Chain A
């Protein structure tokens, strides 16, 4: 259990969160996931996290009500990036990557883009290469 990576999924569409939860279970991915439906609650959760509970990877939907993934990335960058340099923030969407690629590459706090839905393939090809080889977890 201790070598599972802590992930935080932020998506107002519960269907995608449920999908990710089942993919993690069915494909036995080394992930301990938390799911939040809105960015405000996510920020509240991150503020209350102890260092060992802070997620290693955050995956946030770009098109969320009230404020979008990029605005979440701005707030994440301002509040948490310096204290948690190992935390990788990915943005996700059901739209094509090329729509967002310039914005993503220009943002210092965003590690990359994942096309929806979350899958074993996106974990292995996009997320894992960026993770440190040092085992993470409590």
Chain B
């Protein structure tokens, strides 16, 4: 079986290939490669239909595999197979990493313990789950050392991911702040050269638009900074109808222009315990996008409702706007300063912020979109009640 894991793990753990070159070397391997090698020894890579794309050699020995199974179904029956199957189902349903701790296999005289970690990720449009298995024989003494090592490596992984985000963010922020300033500065000189009043007026309008764009970018940055600093984290009961009304009030000017038809219902789940400024921002940004990306030839329709799924509230916002090509550009959707549309103004920060707010609080976002037909956002919010 081909050794696929290092490349995919590297991509997952260090989303920017350039980071690998900067990491300290160990025995000729980069640290990320070392991590991949270490985990590759107790690792499975599972693709669609539970297909096994890679089995680490240590797992093969651990599970006493007589041959090369093609799927999870082919693994020997027992608690380990059952645990792996259950973990895959859980990570697939919630689209998040999940962990199963201290699964005991064996009897009192001779038993082994396993921690299983399931990390779903996408690569080249295909969904995979990396299953990491930490095996130890004595849960009283070994796990702390292994757990500390595991935690340290996870922390490195988290820091690498954070660094990658910050690099992208700073680059985008510099560009988006500088652009309007260059416009304003260069137009000051240009206006002096115009003789016709109409041209001067047009240039002044352009400068004003640039100034507004600069202001919006700074507002977005301020909101993002506040979010990252952990301010405004008080949890309270929030009524969706009030939230929706407030967002519409903030978007009064845009609504007057776009004249959307709203349909909404919060009867099934009228309230949630959440961080109010976050929820305000989520509702505002999603409604703002729905209005902004309307199709000019069709009356705009925006449908908003809530659903309850166990301890999760799902906020659904559907529009009949211009839609997006998610297959080609979906990976840019939540990146800061990235926009998927050239015909509408935007900072490229709104969805990035919404995504961070939702995910930091244990939720997730699902998006469906069809070019020329519209978009549907499903925001899964973990209620703090």
Chain A residues proximal to chain B, CB less than 8 Å: 12-16, 18-19, 22-23, 26, 37-38, 63-66, 93-95, 116-117
Contact = CB atoms under 8 A, between A and B. Distances in A.
Contact of B329 (A13, A66, A94): A66
B338 A13 contact: no
A23 B199 CA distance: 13
Given A18-B206, A19-B187, 13 more contacts: A15-B187, A16-B183, A18-B203, A22-B199, A26-B190, A37-B342, A37-B343, A66-B329, A93-B175, A94-B178, A94-B179, A116-B186, A117-B186
Contacts of A63: 175
A14 B339 CA distance: 16
A19 B203 CA distance: 9
B110 to A, nearest CB: 58
B183 A66 contact: no
A59 to B, nearest CB: 15
B342 A19 contact: no
Using C-beta atoms within 8 Å of the partner chain, give the interface range for chain B.
Answer: 20 to 34
A81 to B, nearest CB: 23
Contacts of A66: 329, 332, 339-340, 342
Contacts of B257: none
Contacts of A64: 342
Kindly list the 10 A-B residue pairs having the minimum CB-CB distance in the complex, ordered from nearest: A38-B342, A65-B339, A94-B182, A117-B186, A12-B342, A15-B183, A15-B206, A94-B178, A65-B342, A94-B179
B365 to A, nearest CB: 20
A95 B206 contact: no
Contact of A19 (B179, B190, B329, B332): B190
A26 B187 contact: no
Given A19-B187, A65-B341, A66-B342, A26 B193 contact: yes
Contacts of B182: 94, 116-117
- Interface SS, B side: helix
A133 to B, nearest CB: 30
A84 B35 CA distance: 48
21 contacts: A13-B179, A13-B183, A15-B183, A15-B206, A15-B210, A18-B203, A19-B183, A26-B193, A38-B342, A65-B338, A65-B340, A65-B341, A65-B348, A66-B332, A66-B339, A94-B175, A95-B174, A95-B175, A95-B178, A116-B182, A117-B183
A19 B186 contact: yes
Contacts of B186: 19, 116-117
Contacts of B332: 66
B142 to A, nearest CB: 48
Contacts of B308: none
- Interface SS, A side: loop
Contacts of A116: 182, 186
B209 interface: yes
Interface string B172-198: 001100110011001100100110000
A12 B179 CA distance: 12
A93 B339 CA distance: 17
Given A26-B193, A95-B174, A95-B178, A15 B340 contact: no
B188 to A, nearest CB: 12
A93 B202 CA distance: 23
Nearest to A95: B175
Contacts of B338: 65
A117 B189 CA distance: 12
Nearest to A38: B342
B204 to A, nearest CB: 12
Contacts of B339: 65-66
Contacts of A93: 175
Contacts of A117: 182-183, 186
Contacts of A95: 174-175, 178
Interface string B199-237: 100110010011000000000000000000000000000
A13 B206 CA distance: 10
B340 to A, nearest CB: 6
Contacts of B179: 13, 94
A130 B343 CA distance: 33
A93 B176 CA distance: 11
A66 B348 CA distance: 12
Contacts of A26: 190, 193
Contacts of B174: 95
A75 B213 CA distance: 30
A98 to B, nearest CB: 13
A66 B183 CA distance: 22
